[in-house]
Structure 1
Amino acid sequence: MKKSLIALFILLLAATLMPGPASASKRGEEGVAAAASALKMTFPKLEFDSIHPTPIEGMFEVLSGDRIIYFVPRTQHLIYGEIWDAQGQSLTRARQAQIMSDRIKDLPLDKALKIGNGKNIVIEVTDPDCPFCRKGSEFLGQRDDVTRYIFFYPLTRIHPEAEGKARYILSSDNPGDAYEDVMHGRYDGRPLPDFEDNKQLEAHLEVVNKLGVRGTPKFWINGTYLSGADLQAMEQLLGAPGQKQ
């Protein structure tokens, strides 16, 4: 009887000391705050948007724009790479896709250049002089089952003529035709036609900056995020192609 009472007392004591869901949640929040503070102190030049726990104890996910990196506060290491599970799935890519898909929920599509009226909704961030953007544009231009919402993000450091081309497209009387001319290289190494800048590019840059995008091309195909002109992945997301008539 005495042993039973002692055992019961130990169980009650353990239950009392064991943190409940609220305490665990608070510990988690404190851990994230401590990790963020350590990250700022260890890598003061690193710009990041947020930090979150990962399935790996002691490792934190750091979101910087559209990029995910990892931080281990205990050893003060940053890790650039992907986490894979035992099933061969990249947890990093899945997490990145989720984050980037969430960001387009309130996107002002009325500010984008709209091309087409198909059933598949494609949102694009593009640079008119980016060869991979042109590759993706050519692929999408062959289909009549897409509605494209295009935002321009000229990478002026590597494509010095891209900003002028983006402004020309957005300021044209027929932006769709101007877009096709530019993306097919009509004005590569040649002067653009005269135009009056309507300053729409500034609105595009504001949208892209809020998305956290820092490179091109980027696509959201029916809500699913895709980085780069992966034509095979694009076709899988769009389904069987419908040839443009």
Structure 2
Amino acid sequence: MLRFSLLLLCVFLPLGACAIQPQESSDNPAAALSSAYPKLQYQLLNPTPVSGVYEVVTENEEVLYFVPASGHIFTGDLWSADGHNLTAENRSQRMTAKLKLFPLDKAIKIGDGPNQVVEVTDPDCPFCRHSSDYFAGRDDVTRYVFLFPLGQVHPNAIAKSRFILAADDPEQAYEDVFSGMYDHQPVPDAPDDGRLQLFRDIAHKAGVNGTPHFWINGQHVTGYNPQQFDALLNK
């Protein structure tokens, strides 16, 4: 509960700080962090270009910043003077390395072009659909689709995902669903072979908590970003 309370507080105060007493162990940032926030679970603690400030990557891939000398934690994006979003760049590098977690032989394969696109997508996410339209308009990609329905946000996405996976022609079923064919009519019943749960488990392990996510020729991209898609596919 402490972790979630801390994150919620910092989200509402993105430029503020959660104040605690200064830590005597400030020369050891890991010890200072554990002492100040003993229930905060994290996977990485890295120095930043800002002296005395450390990047904390939680188990859910959320990024916090910690000041050992004072014990403060704050959130937000760290930018360089030349306009680079260092927080976003570091996150992208970490997510790029997660590509190896996805078993491509289990994915829905669409196309046979020379560019590899691995996508984590929700059938009812509007940005996922925009992205799907973009890639459908190119004949130079091979897509490996992992369905990740956000059931709490899109209640029908789970049924649509199961329908796609159980179809005799998953590629056609994918296109039908993402075109909106089943937005205003019942989704046909489909058996659950466990593959959807496998996809969700993999996505959670990779730190995915929203959609869409893409790995284009190995490079991670989050969200619908056609300019970045173009740049990576047209190299």
Answer yes or no: same fold by TM over 0.5. Answer: yes
User: 1:27-106 maps to which residues of 2 (within 5 A)?
Assistant: 31-38=28-35, 40-41=37-38, 44=39, 47-64=41-58, 65-106=60-101
Q: 1:176 aligns with which of 171, 175, 185?
A: 171
Listed as ranges, the matches of 1:1-245 within 5 Å are 31-38=28-35, 40-41=37-38, 44=39, 47-64=41-58, 65-239=60-234
Q: Deviations over 1:80-124 (max 9, x none)?
A: 222122222121122111111111134311121111111111111
Distance 1:39 1:223 in 2: 38
CA distance in 2, matches of 1:35, 1:121: 43
**Maintained 8 Å contact 2:32/2:71:** no
TM-score by structure 1 length? 0.79
Q: Distance in 1 between matches of 2:137 and 2:95?
A: 26
Tell me if structure 1 keeps the 8 A contact 2:101–2:202. Answer: no
How far apart are the structure 1 equivalents of 2:218 and 2:203?
Answer: 16
Q: What SS is found at the alignment partner of 1:88?
A: coil
Determine if contact 2:33/2:71 at 8 Å carries over to the other structure.
no
Q: Which has the larger radius of gyration?
A: 1
Counterpart code for 2:176: D
CA deviation string 1:116-149 (max 9, x = no partner): 1111111111111000000101100100101111
Q: What is residue 11 of structure 1 aligned with on the other side?
A: none
CA distance, structure 2, for counterparts of residue 39 and residue 184 of structure 1: 50
C-alpha change, 1:159 and 1:47, in structure 2 (3 Å) is farther
Q: Is the 8 A contact 1:39 1:71 kept in 2?
A: no
Deviations 1:196-218 (A, max 9, x none): 22221011011101111100011
Match of 1:23 in 2: none
The structure richer in helix per residue is: 1
Identity of aligned residues (%): 46
CA distance in 2, matches of 1:133, 1:47: 31
What CA distance in whole angstroms lies between the structure 2 residues aligned with 1:207 and 1:110?
13
Larger displacement relative to structure 2 (78-87 or 206-215): 78-87
CA contact (8 A) 1:167 1:199 kept: no
Gaps of 5+ in 2: 1-26
Following the alignment from structure 2 to structure 1, what is the Cα–Cα distance between the partners of residues 85 and 184?
41
With normalisation by structure 2, the TM-score equals: 0.82
Please identify runs of 4+ aligned residues in structure 1 that moved more than 4 A: none
SS across alignment from 2:79: coil
Q: 1:211 and 1:135 mapped to 2: Cα distance?
A: 23
Aligned residue pairs, count: 208
Please tell me the residue identity of whatever aligns with 2:52. Answer: G
In structure 2, give the amino acid aligned to 1:56: V
* TM-aligned CA deviation for residue 31 of structure 1: 2.4
- Amino acid in the other structure paired with 2:151: T
Question: SS where residue 28 of structure 2 aligns?
Answer: helix
Task: Assess if the C-alpha contact under 8 Å between 1:123 and 1:220 holds in 2.
Answer: yes
Contact 1:67 1:96 in 2 (8 A): no
1:37–1:235: structure 2 CA closer, same or farther, 3 Å change rule? Answer: same
On the 8 A contact 2:212/2:224 being kept in 1, the answer is yes
